Amino acid sequence: MSKQLAFYILFFVCFGMTTEVFFTAISDFISGEGSLRLMGHTYVWMAFIYALIPILFLNIYPKVAHLSLPVRLLIFVLFVYAIEFSAGFLLDIFTGQCPWEYTTGWHIMGYIRLDYALFWAGFGFILEKLFLFIEKNIHE
C-alpha cells in the first residue's frame, strides 16, 4: 500500500467516524432522544467501511468528475446505500446483529434509511471537496 493511500484511509476513517459522532449527537438531541450533553456514537465496524472511501473515490471519481454535481451526488448516495446495506446485511449474518439497525424513518430491512439521502448527499459533497483539496494541496 502506498503512503498516499494509507494517508487517505486514515484521514477518511477519522473524518467519517468523527462526522458520525457529531451527526448522532445532534440528531438524537433534535429528536428528543438525547440531551444537551450531545453524546454521539459510532461503531468500530465503521472504520472498515469508511476505509473504503478513498479506495472508491480514487477509482470512481475520475469516471464521474465530468458529470454535473446533482448526478455525482446521486451516484455517491447510491454507493453509500449499496455499501451500507451490504455491510449491514453481512454484519447481521456474521455477528447476529446490524449495529445501526434502523427502526424509524423510511428504512429497508433496518440497514439503510432512504430519508437520509440528503444527509448522504451532503456528506458526499464534503468528501468530494476534501478529496480534491487534499489532491491539490498535499499530494501534488
Burial class (CB in 10 A: 0-12, 13-18, 19+), 135: middle
Dump pLDDT digits (tens) for 1-32. 788 889 999 999 999 999 999 999 999 999 88
Distance CA 125, CA 22 (A): 17
Domain count for the chain, please give it. Answer: 1
pTM of the model: 0.85
Length of the chain counted residue by residue: 140
DSSP state of 113: E
Domain that holds residue 84: 3-137
Dump pLDDT digits (tens) for 79-108. 999 999 999 999 999 999 998 888 888 999
